[in-house]
Amino acid sequence: MEKTKIILDCDPGHDDAVAITLAANSDKIDLLGITVVAGNQTLEKTQINARNVCQWLGVDVPVYAGCGQPMVREKMIAGDIHGETGLDGPVFPPLTKELEKEHAVDFIVKTLMESDGDITMVTTGPMTNLAMAMRMEPAIIPKIKQIVLMGGAYTNGNVTPAAEFNIIADADAAYVCFTSGRPITMMGLDVTRKVLCYPEIVDRMEKIGNKASKLFADLMRFFCKTQKEVFGWEGGPLHDPVTIAWLIDPSVVTLKPMHVDIDIRSVQSYGRTNCDFFGYGGQEPTANVAIDIDAAKFWDIVEAGLRRYSEA
């Protein structure tokens, strides 16, 4: 079966790191490149984190640094969740994997323009890089097969009651992407909050006993601690890997077409993904929004993904 070609745009970030782990060694996915954006931490830190994860796993995927701040507003980071480095917890050996010289936005434009329109853009951080690429070269837009993002919510946010981090961190970029006309699949907090990485999940994965499972355990023990401190979760919601799990096995998530507007105008609800769940507004749906997830199947996909790596 042909692999799904993807570019993974991310802001590692503990959950981004698990998304990289699943995407980089899957028999269903061809990971063409990892493009990095500021988000969970500054760009200087998120690009180092992406390189460290690839080096630790021994995966030969190019890493490109992209935009270090949002298109319009001031930068937001999530150090309270991901720590000072953006990937606190694991201890990595000296970093030798090089950062690609090409800017991430240039890589996205070049790769899409040279493609047959068969590349999926996966974003698990603020959508700045993809939006900037669309603005820089609008000819890439019809070349994007689909956009699969972790972001938004049709219920409550996690930065404000209205807004989720990846969207509010650069709502203007999200607006550009959501109005691009390309097929969008949105994995919001509504489903990612149903895959809480409880301690028993961490123990289950750690027993696999390879380098990927050790990384998972070291990541999750830090991530779950801060998620408990900040939000009171008994297990950290494993947001970003839901995008990859869906590409590996679409049956893991239930989708519902909805018209989605990104609020870039209001103050109190700035950054909200206004999802017309009931279609009451009569507008054409603009995204397939995740409304449920088979948590057991999700964890099986994660475990299978970790097992694909060789012994430590």
Residues that bind ligand RIB (CB under 6 A): 11, 13, 15-16, 39-40, 78, 124-125, 150, 158, 164-166, 239-240
Residue 210 phi/psi, 5-degree rounding, is -120, -175
d(C-alpha 90, C-alpha 73), whole Å: 32
CB of 230 to ligand RIB, least distance (A): 12
Nearer to ligand RIB, 60 or 80 (CB): 80
Residue 157 burial class via C-beta count within 10 angstroms: exposed 0-12, middle 13-18, buried 19 and up: buried
The residue nearest ligand RIB at its CB is 165
Region 3-22 residues binding Ca ion, contact defined as CB under 5 A: 11, 13, 16
**Is 97 in contact with 60 (CB distance < 8 Å)?**
no
Q: Which stretch binds Ca ion (CB under 5 A): 56-64, 180-188, 214-222, 235-243?
A: 235-243
What is the residue whose two structure tokens read 């870039």?
264
Q: Which stretch binds Ca ion (CB under 5 A): 61-69, 116-124, 127-135, 173-181?
A: 116-124
Q: Which residues contact 62 (CB under 8 A, 6 or more apart)?
A: 33, 34, 100, 107
What is the residue whose two structure tokens read 């209205």?
162
CB of 20 to ligand RIB, least distance (A): 11
Residue 146 phi/psi, 5-degree rounding, is -165, 160
Q: Which one of Ca ion, ligand RIB, none is in contact with 25 (Cβ closer than 5 to 8 A by kind)?
A: none
Lay out the site mask for Ca ion across 177-216 (x = CB under 5 A, - = otherwise): ----------------------------------------
Nearer to ligand RIB, 202 or 219 (CB): 219
Q: Which one of ligand RIB, Ca ion, none is in contact with 158 (Cβ closer than 5 to 8 A by kind)?
A: ligand RIB
CB of 126 to ligand RIB, least distance (A): 7
Q: Confirm or reject binding of residue 125 to Ca ion (CB under 5 A).
A: yes
Nearer to ligand RIB, 76 or 304 (CB): 76
Would residue 300 show up in a list of annotated catalytic residues for this protein?
A: no
Nearer to Ca ion, 88 or 276 (CB): 88
Q: Confirm or reject binding of residue 46 to Ca ion (CB under 5 A).
A: no
**Is 50 in contact with 63 (CB distance < 8 Å)?**
yes
Choose among 55, 35, 129, 48: nearest CA to 84: 48
Nearer to ligand RIB, 145 or 239 (CB): 239
DSSP 311: B
DSSP 198: -
What is the residue whose two structure tokens read 């937001």?
76
Nearer to ligand RIB, 109 or 248 (CB): 248
Which one of 124, 213, 227, 273 is in contact with Ca ion (CB under 5 A)? 124
Which is catalytic among the residues 11, 88, 172, 240? 11
Q: Which one of ligand RIB, Ca ion, none is in contact with 175 (Cβ closer than 5 to 8 A by kind)?
A: none
d(C-alpha 97, C-alpha 60), whole Å: 9
Give the CA count within 13 Å in the CB-facing half-sphere of 304. Answer: 14
Instruction: Write the CA distances from 310 to 45, 85, 105, 205, integer angstroms.
Output: 27, 27, 33, 14
**Positive or negative: CA dihedral 165, 74, 68, 106:** positive
Residues forming contacts to Ca ion in the complex (CB under 5 A) are 11, 13, 16, 124-125, 240
- Catalytic residue list: 11
